[in-house]
Amino acid sequence: MADCQTDVNDSLTKNNSNYLQPMIVGHRGGFDANLPENSITMFDFTYENACRKPIAIEFDIRESVSGSLYIMHDLTVDRTTNGTGKISELTDIYINTLFLKDRKGNLTTGRVPLFSEVLQHFKDKNCMLMLDVKGQIYPKVIRMVEKMKMESKCILLTFNQNNTKLVKETTGKILISALVQNNTDWETLLKLQIPNQQLIIYISEETPSELINKIYQSKVQLMADVSESIRNDSKHYDPEYYLSYSAKMKLGIMITDYPVYVNEFFCNYRE
């Protein structure tokens, strides 16, 4: 079997010189199908239907009161399962009895996945995993990634300078995503001296175009979230929107709620 990470690194390198072909990331696994968010079933659907790989899966990690790491976006399990309560106050015994709901709220046979299960599931697949860590559990998450020898296939989202600094001090191998919305963010980040090859800059609509150009010229990966659920009433845009958004933001990585749909468009795109 070919080295999956070699394919991933090749893609990221090419994307840095051709930002019209970003690596696509499925937000909470994606919403192209009526499957539970943050479920292995949804992750598999996105991976198997992606016409171009590597593709990436974004998901959220929370800790149970028993100390285990589960995949769950919300503070509570109420919306996405048949259970109730904050996951940080629930035992593994209780969580493991729960069933996930699909996008329409119907109960499925899917269970709340453990972080370790997802790591093992994607260990030999040409897929990146984007980790949205909820709460102060970065060191524990990093130790799990290292234990599974998955450092080269994971991206850690940090969102603030304190978390970015903590992650930088804890791992020298896992890719780090740092949010940069203005020049102060960028100058503060530079002081951390994170190697360019380990760094991904998460930009937003608030990030000035001049700063985007400066970061792009420095050869650091740029990433942004299309955020259909916030900006477009949870509907996907016309294909041309994604192309123009990628060009405008100079993206090497694009996060979307519709990774299969968007990935197919970029597969068929020809300059």
For the chain of 271 residues, list the mean pLDDT of each consecutive stretch of 10.
Answer: 41 49 96 98 98 96 98 98 98 98 97 98 97 97 98 97 97 98 97 97 96 96 96 94 94 97 86 50
Half-sphere exposure of 5 (CA within 13 A, CB side): 12
* Strand-pair partners of 23: 253
Q: Rounded to whole angstroms, how far apart are CA atoms 77 and 130? A: 21
Q: Rounded to whole angstroms, how far apart are CA atoms 149 and 16? A: 26
Can you tell me whether residue 191 is helix, strand or coil? coil
CATH number of the 4-62+115-268 domain: 3.20.20.190
Q: Rounded to whole angstroms, how far apart are CA atoms 40 and 84? A: 21
Q: Rounded to whole angstroms, how far apart are CA atoms 53 and 55? A: 5
Can you tell me whether residue 89 is helix, strand or coil? helix
**Cβ pair 129, 150 in contact under 8 A:** yes
Structure tokens, 234: 């949870």
Q: Where are the beta strands (DSSP E) in the chain?
A: 23-26, 55-63, 69-71, 127-133, 154-157, 175-179, 199-202, 221-225, 253-256
Cis preceding-peptide flag for 54 (omega within 30 of 0): yes
pLDDT at 20: 63
Q: Rounded to whole angstroms, how far apart are CA atoms 166 and 137? A: 11
Please tell me the pTM assigned to this model: 0.93
pLDDT at 21: 86
pLDDT at 166: 98
CB count in 10 Å sphere of residue 125: 18
CB count in 10 Å sphere of residue 265: 18
The ranges assigned to domains in the chain are: 4-62+115-268
Q: Rounded to whole angstroms, how far apart are CA atoms 234 and 256? A: 11
pLDDT at 7: 44
Q: Rounded to whole angstroms, how far apart are CA atoms 240 and 38? A: 28
Q: Which amino acid is at 19?
A: Y
